Structure 1
């Protein structure tokens, strides 16, 4: 968490130096495996959200994104990734590779466009809060199983998204985690998918608001998720 806090401070200092963002209200907070304490590699990227509060008709996501990129480019090597502004210079003041999701406030969540211009609304604060609550209810077993499952998938399914795995495992009932191994949690998901494929396809994300499966740019295919579960279960 020290690295995350340090990166937040570096970003805040960089933004304060720019007249482009004078009087623009924004919030910076962490997301992803580091802030959720489910990361495997201490050198993994730091994921931050930079959220414009109270966007207006003449200053919304696109204008904010352009001003943020212009500001950071004055001091750092940056590029636009599929969804985030990537700071690719580990020798900079950030000291790490940093991904910054530039977004605008949208009700209780955040709004942004991906590289193809498709709108996405997500809820990173709810994701973190729900994960922390489940970890407390399960005596720390939930996040332990998430980390073990991510580690298990690396040799055979490195392309399996960490976010998908975490959300799938979040839907496993708390009582399974009281004595769970990764195999127990994956076995529950495997049984649930075979016994109730409709219920499996309707599973929510960890934020409890978005659906995990569907045709949206931030959703997955239920059949492919079932295949990933089945492969991991047999390891």
Structure 2
């Protein structure tokens, strides 16, 4: 059913970004149609992928991804597959250069555009510039999130790892590098975020995602409220 359809498969998420805590965490993959055609877009591609995978594996539709709930399948582990179509964002309208992103819809049918490859590239560069302290801070925040439980919930969902990682990405490199230790760098990063929200709320509300293209806060289905994010930072700071 997918024969002749041009697509790419690549990794995203904590395993690929090296911010995961457990070796048994899910593998996150993107299955991206690279040439949507009239009459064959995201909905048709998603339905075809669901049909093809469903012939061999136990598959269910999650909030955004197809969950392959079969430990014996594919890579021998649980796999989440984000079905998407290619999205091209042109920083300069009319120019030839573009950033390649992904388009998909969530369970409620809301359109989302994201840039996972840029997210990974920028995170790797940040980690090099901070001598490994950025990703160490992300892992520390995730461990603290496990302890925070209900105090870190947003609309009934545990504070997303993506939100936490993007927040810590926006902390200046000098804050990480000047700390006495990796654990001190994590605390200093949270303190910087708390001060920025308190003293310069406009700057805090304008923080970008780690991909450098999307805005972290706003009304979109993949955005959050600055006040809720500040509350999460406060809880993490206390843990």
One fold, TM greater than 0.5? yes
Q: Which of 201, 216, 224 is the aligned partner of 1:212?
A: 216
Partner of 1:142: 134
Q: How does 1:38-187 map to 2 (within 5 A)?
A: 38-107=19-88, 108-157=100-149, 159-178=158-177, 179=179, 180-187=184-191
Query: Distance between the aligned counterparts of 1:111 and 1:161, measured in 2?
Result: 20
Deviations 1:128-181 (A, max 9, x none): 000001011111111011111111121114612111000000000001111252
Report SS of the residue matched to 1:207.
Answer: coil
1:224 aligns with 2:223: no
Gaps of 5+ in 1: 1-19
Cα distance in 2 between the residues matched to 1:160 and 1:115? 19
In the alignment, the residues of structure 2 paired with residue 91 and residue 208 of structure 1 have an alpha-carbon distance, to the nearest angstrom, of 37
Aligned pair count?
216
Name segments (4+ residues, structure 1) moved above 3 Å: none
Unaligned runs of 5+ in 2: 89-99, 153-157
Q: Deviations over 1:197-219 (max 9, x none)?
A: 11101100000110101110001
Q: 1:195 aligns with which of 183, 192, 199?
A: 199
